[in-house]
Structure 1
Amino acid sequence: MDDTILHLAVALGIGLLIGAERERRKGTGPGRAPAGIRTFAIAALAGATAMLVGDGPLLAAASLGVAVLAAAAYWRSREEDPGLTTEVALVLTVLLGGLALQRPALAAGMGVAVAILLAARGAIHRFVSGVLSAQEVNDTLLFAAVTLIVLPILPDRPIGPYGALNPHKLWLLVVLLMAVSGLGHAAIRLVGARAGLPLAGLIGGFASSTATIGAMGGRALRDAALLSPAIAGAVLSSVATIALLAAVLGATSLESLRALLPAILAGGAAALLYGVLFTRRAFTGDKTEAAPPGRIFDPKAIAGFALGLAAIILISAALHDWFGDAGILAAAALAGFADAHAAAIMVASQVASGNLPADEAALPVLLGLTTNTISKAALAWLAGPRGFAAGVLPGLILILAGAWGAAWWAS
């Protein structure tokens, strides 16, 4: 089939899809809406034809003409229906029809997205007006601001004492913490606190286990009824840490992964079992669900997390400067204070380049995991109530004991 015919068919399909949804809401009689399935199909073909005949300028003229007609229709029916959705959708359909001549897959996807938004009108209105609170909307806007405005303008280079702080990467961890906290909040609203926080912890750990522990501690600090689910989420985040550790080792050096496989399996099993224990405790406890928290995240707790992490990084850099680089063990241990995966990648790279035997990779990687666990333990103690730290710390110790014990047994 000729590509032009195929692209025109895509444009027609977009118009029919969006128009079918509008036809259902068009109504009947003199008060019906001005545009239905035929109008939208013709509008999409008009955009495609304009693009085919006259390229961009003619498409702009066609879009302007349809916009004028849509404005006139709105002016006539504004008393019965003050909304502008149909008129805006009609103009967008013309543009999507033109886009189908150049990028049909993108145009088709956008057409489906528009149809879904139009069809989900009732659910979206109920969610925004009846489910989301004003505070949740404000927190969402704050998250958008720190992610889309602040993060892109921060310098992505080392600055400060010892060149240890990278503002972009540090702020990225703040964004991850806010996202994990938001994930936990959404999980609580959708499936309840007992199941929501463990699930959020497990998923959030793939972004940052340290950030997840900080978020879970803040959640438990704000609501004591969520202590057991928050502990479960914090420990289950370490399952993701172990899984990512295996992934980065395998991607960098398969020999390193083979050398550390017993320790990885034992540590992951310990994290999973301990997390499941607290998840069961959360489910078998008081069956009354805690009321949804008013805020998605706590800005003060997030600021404290960022300052604490920056202090840990600076202390690590200072120790390295004072005592020098005593070899890969010291380097891995220092790197682990900030990120266990950074230490693992560093060691695995040495193995891949032939500078370190594979059977000697376990010790520095486990040292990095240990120092990273120290950072997590400190954050658990600072971010949450004492009961949170008392619940998380034994799990972290159990993970380390399993990893070190399996490595010793396999050596």
Structure 2
Amino acid sequence: MSPRIRGLHAFRAWLQVRPQVTDALIAAGLLLVGLPQHYLQDASDGSPRFTDPDLVNGLLVAAVTMALTFRQRYPVTVLLFIIAGEIAMAVRDYPPSIPGVVAFLVAVYSVAVHRGLAHSALGGMVAFVYFFVTLVAMPGHLSLIVIVTNCALVAGVWVLGRNLRLRRAYFAELEHRAARLERARGTDARAARIEERSRIARELHDVVAHHVSVMTVQAGAARRIIDRDAGSAREAMSTIEEVGRTALSEMRRIVGVLRTDRDAESAGRELAPQPGLGDLGELLDHVRETGLAVQLWIEGEARTPSPGVDVAAFRLIQEALTNTLKHAGSQARAWVRLYYTDADLTVEIEDDGRGTATIMADNGDNPGHGLVGMYERVALYGGELRIGPRVGGGFGVRARFPLEA
């Protein structure tokens, strides 16, 4: 971007936060363009009332026009001031000026767009009555069509301002509603996370409490009879081993089928080995078969993470690519990057598709658990997760897993 364009953007941003300066510049431009035309017209038509530049008339026109500087802050006062100035010029037998007429219309518009219905209706009525009386009282005979057309112009300017105010209020309400929905969605996500944790805690408590109680009883019995009945003691030890294996299997099943326990096909996968980063090539091949172009980069010296981090990183990539397939569009591309350091593993998944404001995973009757699941899975191993729109379009997921416990 050139320095000139950057300067223009900076100046525009400066004016946006200073509307009064903008209005002053508009009023000065109107006065600069309209006042010479006003004098030229009056000097060339041979009018006996005003043929030469008049200082008082010029000052009145300038005061009426520059009053637009305060049109957004005091619209009703500015409108009344302009009407008073126009009346003062009419009393001194000065003809209507182009800047004065334009300033009057802008003031009517400002009252309609910057004030509520009561004040804008009152200001519009005062302006309409003044304009109608001015037209009727002008020297010379004006046809009915001219009077109706000019009055319709004033009414149309007021209606335009009123419609713009209602439109702004409508969009402000939409933004406010979107903010409320965003807060409600965050609350729902927290509630889902708390409910999930509570359910896991109850299930783990039931599994651990039951099996540990059985193991404690069997261990106590084996200790008492080991000297006089070695066979029964060995049988008790076998029972302890079996119960311990069952407890571990149950706990793995609870964690492994988290949020997928309603899947009818999960029963056949529960006993299968958990996938890891070593299975990433197979996952990417499967994704490419759907039509999504995926590229993989691995940087740094690859290290073997802990089994939990290995599974968590694989599931994170799987979930992110699934959301890319759902939301990014058929022409999107995706990139998967793995960065290994001595202390941690960073996983990045990005796409250049349409993107979404919030990642949603449709899990039955509980949409939105995909995002919650990502945060929970990364936080479980002390990692950090960032999810959001990508610079230049698309969406990105970035997670850092510590390689040491």
- Calculate the TM-score normalised by the size of structure 2: 0.22
Larger Rg: 2
More strand by share: 2
Larger RCO of the pair (alpha carbons < 8 Å, separation 6+): 1
More helix by share: 1
